[in-house]
Structure 1
Amino acid sequence: MNAVLFAAVIGVGIGLVVGALGAGGGILSVPVLVYVLGMAPHDATGASLVVVGLTAVVAIRHPAKHGNVRWKEGAIFGAIAIAGAALASRLSLLVPERALMLCFGVLLLVVAAVMARRARLLRAEENAKETGPTLAGQPSEPEPQPSRLALVLAASATGLLTGFFGVGGGFLAVPMLVIALGLPMRAASGTSLLVMIMTSAAALLARIGTPTHIDWPAVLIFAAGTVLGGMVGGPVSAKARPSSLTALFAFLLAGVGVLTLATS
């Protein structure tokens, strides 16, 4: 029980990340489920889908209230992603557990590098807004043009990662919603939660009839922590610097990635 309560406390932190960034927190669920709650990796990837989905359902309320969820674009992105999520969810069960965790450790380090780069870009944008001159009538930069190919590739990759590793895929969905659909960053963060709900549900349903075992009491207690954090994370994002949150998360991912590789 002590391990479950400790996992719930960690879950609050994960929920904060999901609510504040609209991305990334779910990728920490699997290491917690494996190393704190002692679940087998295959079971942990299935249980993580429950945690990710429930957290996103709660966290989406804040951005939706402020008009930062693009329902149509998110539904299109999610509809493309769910096919990959269902397929990868089944394929994941065919991979040996040690190999699965090694791949997951590599994924953590890759995402850490991506998030660190994003943090630098966000910090540069924030500094430019604070110190740069504001000229009346200055033409605004043209918005990125949506790319159908980028949309299909990004959505498919998001679904595959969600199903295979039990992660939300938001770390990939957010930048690709910006690039492929031209959404502003805050709208992309909110919309990615809708994508996470759709893909995690599809991947979880695809595991029906498989040997995946979910310890529901432990998972729901852990999920309660992430849900609580998700409720707080939305308002936090409106006050904290996105670059600071992203940099902190990148550092955390790198540490967990190294630990995962070392123990695998």
Structure 2
Amino acid sequence: MEMVLLAVAVGIGVGVVVGALGAGGGILAVPVLVFLLGMPPHQATASSLVIVLITALVSLPHHARNGNVQWRSGLVFAGVSVVGAVLGSRLSALVPADVLLTLFGVLLAGVAVAMLVRGVRTRRAETAEAAAHGFPGEADTIAPIATHDDPVLDQPGPDTVESADGIHRHHGTPELPHTPPPSSSPRLGVVIAAATVTGFLTGFFGVGGGFMVVPMLVLALGLAMRRASGTSLLVMVIATAASLLARLGTDVQIDWPVTLIFAAGSALGGILGGPLSARARPSTLTLLFAALLTGVSVVTLVETLLL
């Protein structure tokens, strides 16, 4: 009973962070499951896949109804990612637990740096937009905006926002389809490499992978940010399902009660945390997420390497 209550409490806590910051569901689940709920690392990565799969399945219909899922491109990308997901899952089961956690800590640090860079760039764009509208030095008074990223995406960057006038904007400008110039049109090799790497990370670490999927869909397939966010859920459903199936026949076991309760608590926390970000600046959310990832990365590496 104590473990069940702890799973609920921790799940809600993670969900609140996810809802408030707009990201981090999968990439936060693994260290939380290991260090707070005491799961073995391999079991935690498998449980994280279940949590990501459930979240993606719940989130996908909403995006599909709004026409933000590019089914053909998503299915092709996901189909290729299955190869990497299977390889990652099988390899993950063979890697020692300490090595797996060390690599995960390094991944967290890398994503934290990427989010820090994005946060700084977004802050500069916000400041420039405020100045362009005749409010120099008043960037902190920009009208409230709300992010539209899904927790499963691990994608805090508020690339697509809704401004006070109801217009969906991309860093202050109306969102338009991202169409690469002819000289940089998506090449088959780039798409295959991107999908394979995305699937591998999903299978190996048990993360949602949205921090890679969304940019890959934008750059490799030329999708607009909003459509890339919705399509990434389709990719995650297929990649996580393949990763779980690839774990069949290994020694990795899933604690289903704790995992499902954690997922339910996380979903509830996400609902509670969402309103907290209503008046937050996109750059602030991104920088907060970068700081959170940095802290989790440090804890993960210290616990693994020094203790």
Common fold: TM-score over 0.5: yes
Q: Percent identity?
A: 53
Are 1:258 and 2:298 counterparts?
Answer: yes
Matches within 5 A, 1:11-26: 11-13=14-16, 15-16=18-19, 20-21=22-23, 24-26=24-26
Whole-Å separation in 2 of the counterparts to 1:132 and 1:73? 37
Among 5, 9, 13, the residue aligned to 1:6: 9
TM-score by length of 1: 0.86
Whole-Å separation in 1 of the counterparts to 2:97 and 2:267? 28
State the one-letter code of the partner of 2:87: L
Partner of 1:121: 121
Aligned Cα root-mean-square deviation (Å):
2.7
The answer to whether the Cα contact below 8 Å between 1:16 and 1:226 also exists between their aligned partners in 2 is no
Matches within 5 A, 1:29-68: 29-68=29-68
Whole-Å separation in 2 of the counterparts to 1:252 and 1:126? 22
Structure 2: segments with no counterpart, 5+ residues? 134-175
Structure 1: segments with no counterpart, 5+ residues? 134-139
Matches within 5 A, 1:128-207: 128-132=128-132, 143-145=179-181, 146-148=185-187, 149-207=189-247
Deviates more, 1:1-10 or 1:94-103: 1-10
Whole-Å separation in 1 of the counterparts to 2:59 and 2:37? 24
Deviates more, 1:217-226 or 1:3-12: 3-12
Aligned residues: 256
Higher helix share: 1
Structure with higher Rg: it is 2
Deviates more, 1:60-69 or 1:33-42: 60-69
Distance 1:12 1:3, change over 3 A: same
State the one-letter code of the partner of 2:81: A
State the one-letter code of the partner of 1:143: T
TM-score by length of 2: 0.75
Deviation at 1:5, TM superposition (A): 2.4
Residues 28-47 of structure 1: CA deviation (Å, up to 9, x unaligned) = 11001101111100111111
State the one-letter code of the partner of 2:299: L
Distance 1:255 1:203, change over 3 A: same
Partner of 1:137: none
Are 1:225 and 2:265 counterparts?
Answer: yes
Distance 1:82 1:221, change over 3 A: same
Whole-Å separation in 2 of the counterparts to 1:102 and 1:249? 20
Distance 1:234 1:73, change over 3 A: farther
Distance 1:208 1:82, change over 3 A: same
Distance 1:224 1:131, change over 3 A: same
Residues 175-228 of structure 1: CA deviation (Å, up to 9, x unaligned) = 111111222222222222221111111000111121111111100000112233
Distance 1:35 1:141, change over 3 A: closer
State the one-letter code of the partner of 2:32: V
Deviates more, 1:230-239 or 1:175-184: 230-239
